[in-house]
Amino acid sequence: MNSSARLRMTIICAMFVAITAILAQVEIPLPLVPISGQTLAVGITATILGSRYGALAMIGYMAVGAAGAPVFAEAKAGLSVVIGPTGGYIIGFIVAAFFTGLILEKTSFTLANAMIANTVGMVITLLIGVIQLKYVLDLSWAKAMAGGVYPFIIVGLIKAFLASWIGITVRSRLSKAKLLPQTKAA
**In sequence order, which residues have a C-beta less than 8 Å from that of residue 165 and are 6 or more positions away?**
111, 114
Is residue 55 one of the residues assigned to a domain? yes
* For residue 182, pLDDT beyond 80: no
Angle in degrees, 0-180, between the axes of helices 38-66 and 153-176, rounded to the nearest 10: 80
Domain of residue 26: give its range: 3-176
Is residue 183 one of the residues assigned to a domain? no
User: How many domains does the structure of the chain reveal?
Assistant: 1
Is residue 151 one of the residues assigned to a domain? yes
Is residue 41 one of the residues assigned to a domain? yes
Is residue 182 one of the residues assigned to a domain? no
Distance CA 77, CA 71 (A): 6
Is residue 181 one of the residues assigned to a domain? no
* For residue 185, pLDDT beyond 50: no
Kindly state the average pLDDT of the residues 28-32. Answer: 72
Please report, for the domain that includes residue 24, its CATH number: 1.10.1760.20
Query: Given this model, what pLDDT does residue 186 score?
Result: 45
pLDDT digits (tens, 9 = 90+) for 34-81: 678 999 999 999 999 999 999 999 999 999 999 999 999 999 999 999
pLDDT, greater one: 4 or 1: 4
Query: Given this model, what pLDDT does residue 113 score?
Result: 98
Is residue 184 one of the residues assigned to a domain? no
Is residue 73 one of the residues assigned to a domain? yes
pLDDT digits (tens, 9 = 90+) for 102-151: 999 999 999 999 999 999 999 999 999 999 999 999 999 999 999 999 99
Distance CA 115, CA 144 (A): 26
